[in-house]
Amino acid sequence: MKSTTKLCALPLLLLGLFGAGLPVVAQSQQVAATSNSTYPSRPIRMLVPFPAGGATDILARALSQKLGEKLGQTVVVENRPGAGGTIGADAASKAAPDGYTLLLSTSSTHSIGPAINPKITYKVETDFTPIGYVASSPNVVLVPLTSPARTMREFTDYARKNPGKLNYASSGNGTIINLTTEYFKAESGTFILHIPYRGTALAIPDLISGKLDLLIDSLVTGMPHVKDGKLRALAVTSLKPTALAPGMPTVAESLPGFESVTWFGVYGPKGLPAELALKINSALNAALADADVKDRFARLGAEPTGGTPAAFAAMVKADNAKWKKIITERKITAD
């Protein structure tokens, strides 16, 4: 009788346990729904994986102010520099997925870095929740005034006729400047020698003097020398003409499909609820449409982009694949 009683009591015990769990699950769902509807109820931090005062930091501060206004809560910028941006990115990937930690990522942290450094501790597609594409920043193709080329097509023809006789500068191996020029070489079938510098600013004097034949630089640092009449600009590296350089042709006009930009985007940690990601995305798009944000971005050589989380994720995936192909084929390694 005792064993029979125990067997009969077992289903009742299990029923009691599962039954007790149902209110807990329902309560958790209710709390989640409540937190989504009241979000944000406290300040949000935006991790910037680069030092204070740099272009990414300045852009983040311009964005965070307006994003905070749209969300109705303060967005605080927190710099986590180091290891090419990977330290800050890794910290963001490990944060609680509650919407109170965001990451302002760049092509360095989520496209180029993973493609050139297999030791990176995070995986872009699984350790983050994409929220939105913030901005893109094209580069400009510069040559000395002594160059016989006045257009991109003329420079390409000149380089093809003089394989190994021309050189180009970059801001170091594995940088966007190095990769963009190698991308151009691959697409144009040219052979141009690489001379790495510790930053494009150090290469400018040698380009002006004619010791260098080519430099692809950011619009912000490159165009002032063009306006001063010291260098010649041939084209921008955006796929389409940009308002940041009115009237400037694109490399794509002579090499169809060519595009190289530094992009900026917002991610959350993995596991961020879709409702929160969409709420932040909506506020982000509203902030990017603001005239003051557009003006401040333009001064940094960047154009607001916006769009859906899915479109942002697809862009990053395609960008990573492009650079991975270039890095592999050209046997490029980081410094």
In tens, the pLDDT along 256-293 reads 999 999 999 999 999 999 999 999 999 999 999 999 99
Query: d(Cα 43, Cα 246) in Å, to the nearest integer?
Result: 39
When mean pLDDT is compared across 26-30, 87-91, 150-154, 317-321, the lowest value belongs to: 26-30
Collect all residues with Cβ–Cβ distance below 8 Å to 12 and sequence separation of at least 6: none
Q: Which residue has the tokens 């030092």?
A: 51
Q: What's the pLDDT at 334?
A: 84
What residue has token string 């990451």? 103
Upstream peptide bond of 241 is cis (omega within 30 degrees of 0): no
> Which option is the CATH number for 138-253: 3.40.190.10, 3.40.50.150, 3.30.420.40, 3.30.360.10?
3.40.190.10
The per-residue pLDDT for 34 is 39
Nearest residue to 46 (alpha-carbon basis) of 92, 96, 83, 106:
92
Note the pLDDT of residue 27: 35
CB hemisphere CA count around 174 (13 angstroms): 13
- Confirm if 209 and 144 have CB atoms less than 8 A apart: yes
Whether 114 has a pLDDT exceeding 50, the answer reads yes
pLDDT band at 9 (very low <50, low <70, confident <90, very high): very low
Tokens of residue 162, six digits = 């003089």
Please report which confidence band the pLDDT of residue 107 belongs to, taking 50, 70 and 90 as the band edges. Answer: very high
What phi and psi values does residue 326 have, to the nearest 5 degrees? -65, -45
Instruction: Check residue 267 and give its pLDDT.
Output: 98
Residue 288, exposed/middle/buried by CB under 10 A (0-12, 13-18, 19+)? buried
The pTM (predicted TM-score) of the whole model is 0.85
> Which CA distances in Å does 275 have to 95, 131, 278, 330?
18, 11, 5, 42
- Do the Cβ atoms of 284 and 132 come closer than 8 Å? yes
pLDDT for the residue 31: 37
The Cα 261–Cα 246 span in angstroms is: 17
- Asked if the peptide bond before residue 246 counts as cis, ω within 30 degrees of 0, the response is no
Q: Which pLDDT band, with edges at 50, 70 and 90, does 16 fall under?
A: very low
Q: Give the Cβ contact number of residue 196 at 10 Å.
A: 16
Where is average pLDDT lowest: 14-23, 80-89, 146-155, 210-219? 14-23
* From 4-18, 58-72, 145-159, the region with the lowest mean pLDDT: 4-18
Judge whether residue 120 has pLDDT over 90.
yes
Q: Which pairing describes strands 167-170 and 193-196: parallel, antiparallel, or unpaired? A: parallel
The half-sphere exposure of 104 on its side-chain side, counting CA atoms within 13 A, is 32
Q: What are phi and psi of 179, to 5 degrees?
A: -65, -40
**Those residues with Cβ within 8 angstroms of residue 186's Cβ, 6 or more apart along the chain or in another chain:** 326, 329, 330
How far are the Cα atoms of 167, 213, 223, 276 from residue 148, in angstroms, in the given order? 14, 10, 20, 55
* CA–CA distance, 239 with 295 (Å, rounded to integer): 21
Residue 238, phi then psi, degrees to nearest 5: -75, 155
The closest of 329, 323, 258, 331 to 111, measured between CA atoms, is: 323
Specify the pLDDT at position 35.
Answer: 56
pLDDT band, residue 212 (cuts 50/70/90): very high
| 17 or 49, greater pLDDT | 49
Task: For the chain, give every residue range classified as CATH 3.40.190.150.
Answer: 42-137+261-329
CA distances in angstroms from 252 to 98, 187, 292, listed in the order given: 42, 10, 30
Average pLDDT, the chain: 90
Q: What is the pLDDT of residue 118?
A: 87
Q: What is the DSSP letter of 198?
A: S
Outline which parts of the chain fall under CATH 3.40.190.10. Answer: 138-253
Give the pLDDT score at 14: 38
Nearest alpha carbon to residue 137 among 215, 218, 217: 218
Cα of first residue to Cα of last residue in the chain, in angstroms, is: 78
In CATH, what number does 42-137+261-329 get?
A: 3.40.190.150
Percent of the chain scored above 70 by pLDDT?
89
pLDDT of residue 176 exceeding 50, the answer is yes
pLDDT level of residue 20 (50, 70, 90 thresholds)? very low
